[in-house]
Structure 1
Amino acid sequence: MKHVFKFFLNKVPRPLLIKISYWVSPIVAFLYRGEGYHDPIDGKNYRSFLPYGYENQRENVLAPGTLSLERHRLLWLYLAETDFFTKPLKLLHFAPEQAFYKRFKVQKNLEYTTTDIESPLASVKADICDLPFEDDSYDVIFCNHVLEHIPDDLKAMQELFRVMKPGGWGIFQVPLDTQRSKTFQDDRITDPKERAKIFGQYDHVRVYGMDYFNKLRGVGFEVQEVLLQDKLTPKQIQCYGLNPSEILPICRKPLGN
């Protein structure tokens, strides 16, 4: 059974996976119900999570009910400590993750806009490097696991800064190699198999190192590097299925900009 799910999750194109997962995930969630793992997004317990990964498979990382990964559950736990679920906010969400989409859409405190070039969940089809939104438009921006796909990520960061309101904030997660001091990018690498081997996924164009945070600061953001796991026990980290070394980049646009 697990091998069938593994093939399905990693071989089906993502846009199609999003469309058919609405009826598949409840079945998978029912089959995996139990104790041992907890998804804070839907509040349900599972006997295990599912494996997931392109070049390298990771065990017990994909929650059956929400199809959330480590990064999604980490973000949710962070948001639970903020006023995100109660304060009136204008939210811009790039490449909206299925684990969040329906939940954010029904939140009465949010004015919710989704955007992407390909995602069927995007209400506005747009290029992140040339956004159709006015300056200083959004209180909160989520742009997670997007920038590693963008050849001109500096331009994309500048656009994120432009459309964020002064005093606003955002979370821009990327696959981060914490052992690498500098980001590696080579635009000559275009073959999908080579990209998967070198960058970790067929459609990634770089591997981010720890200089990622300073790159965000360079366009004007104030960046807080949050290691939420410092507040959790090892048992909680395992139960939530988190990556214990993942850093959340909390980016704020200073007032007066």
Structure 2
Amino acid sequence: MNFKKLILNPELYANIAYKRIRNRVRVLCYRGDIVVCEICNWRGKKFFKGCCPKCNSLPRTRLIPFSLAYFKLLNDTPKLLHVAPNVNEFNYIKDKVTPLDSYDRLNIRPVKHINIVQDLTNTSLKEFSYDLAIAWHVLEHIPKDQQAIAEVYRLLKKGGHFLVSVPIYPLENMTTFEDVNLPYEDYERIHGHYDHCRSCGLDYYKRFEAIGFKVSQLLVKDLETEFVDRFGLRTDHVVWCFTK
């Protein structure tokens, strides 16, 4: 947190303090058994605009534990590679996914909870090192995503899995679109986010098949409503489980 910015901007400080107090109140006053956040184990009456009041997890983050169970990946994942996890993802895996012989977190930039600072498109890691890899709303940020996919394929053991989710933009978009000549300043207008270098479609899995992966798919919209509501998921999200 930039404390200098807070000092120079008292309104920002007040807003952060207000949100923290508000969330603490919500955690206590909205306790119940209607919804469950598997990231922090909070149980309550509802999520707030998709967010958990205790850990601020988003629907896409809460989809990780659901997907691990859905694809039955929790029983045999002793060596895990997690690509650019956020803090909530890291804490969930570290505290709740066991047993793990090793849990490596890779990012191109140094971050406190990251232990491997390398470019996913060209790592120095040994091949056949991991049983499972996870990349959650990451690949849409990587220009050479097919090189990254091929690198994960190299790092996985035979029979290993690569669990992936990317945002589909626009909603229900069928065909992935990218233009390598598109200026960075146009990313948000074309791809819906200032740092997304492509608009992923529901056909995005084909890039993994081309590398050699076999694919299984989870469309949240096809789940029973009770699961979507209880875990606070979003029906426009998609998850693929790729197997080497």
- In structure 2, do the counterparts of structure 1 residues 171 and 25 end up closer, same or farther at CA, with 3 Å as the change threshold? farther
Structure 1's unaligned 5+ residue stretches are: 1-11, 13-22, 51-59
Match of 1:227 among 219, 222, 229: 219
Which position in structure 2 is the counterpart of 1:30?
A: 24
Deviates more, 1:235-244 or 1:127-136: 235-244
Task: Determine whether 1:182 maps to 2:175.
Answer: yes
Structure 2's unaligned 5+ residue stretches are: 1-5, 7-16
Distance 2:72 2:57 in 1: 22
Which position in structure 2 is the counterpart of 1:251?
A: 242
Match of 1:66 among 55, 62, 65: 55
Distance 2:216 2:115 in 1: 30
- Conserved? CA contact 2:178–2:199, under 8 Å: yes
Deviates more, 1:98-107 or 1:86-95: 98-107
Q: What is the CA-CA distance between 1:65 and the residue it aligns to?
A: 2.3
Match of 1:39 among 37, 40, 47: 37
Distance 1:90 1:27 in 2: 39
- Conserved? CA contact 1:226–1:249, under 8 Å: yes
3-state SS, counterpart of residue 185 of structure 1? coil
- In structure 2, do the counterparts of structure 1 residues 120 and 189 end up closer, same or farther at CA, with 3 Å as the change threshold? farther
- The size of the alignment, in residue pairs, is 221
Distance 1:240 1:81 in 2: 13
Which position in structure 2 is the counterpart of 1:101?
A: 90
Which position in structure 1 is the counterpart of 2:11?
A: none
Distance 2:50 2:219 in 1: 19
Amino acid at match of 2:26: Y
Q: What is the CA-CA distance between 1:151 and the residue it aligns to?
A: 0.9
Greater gyration radius: 2
Which position in structure 2 is the counterpart of 1:241?
A: 232
3-state SS, counterpart of residue 212 of structure 1? coil
Counting aligned pairs with the same residue, the percent is 28
Q: What is the CA-CA distance between 1:197 and the residue it aligns to?
A: 2.0
Which position in structure 1 is the counterpart of 2:80?
A: 91
Which position in structure 2 is the counterpart of 1:137?
A: 129
Q: What is the CA-CA distance between 1:48 and the residue it aligns to?
A: 4.5
- Conserved? CA contact 1:32–1:46, under 8 Å: no
Task: Determine whether 1:117 maps to 2:111.
Answer: no
Deviates more, 1:200-209 or 1:75-84: 75-84
Distance 2:216 2:71 in 1: 15
- In structure 2, do the counterparts of structure 1 residues 101 and 25 end up closer, same or farther at CA, with 3 Å as the change threshold? farther
Q: What is the CA-CA distance between 1:139 and the residue it aligns to?
A: 0.1
* TM-score after normalising by structure 1: 0.76
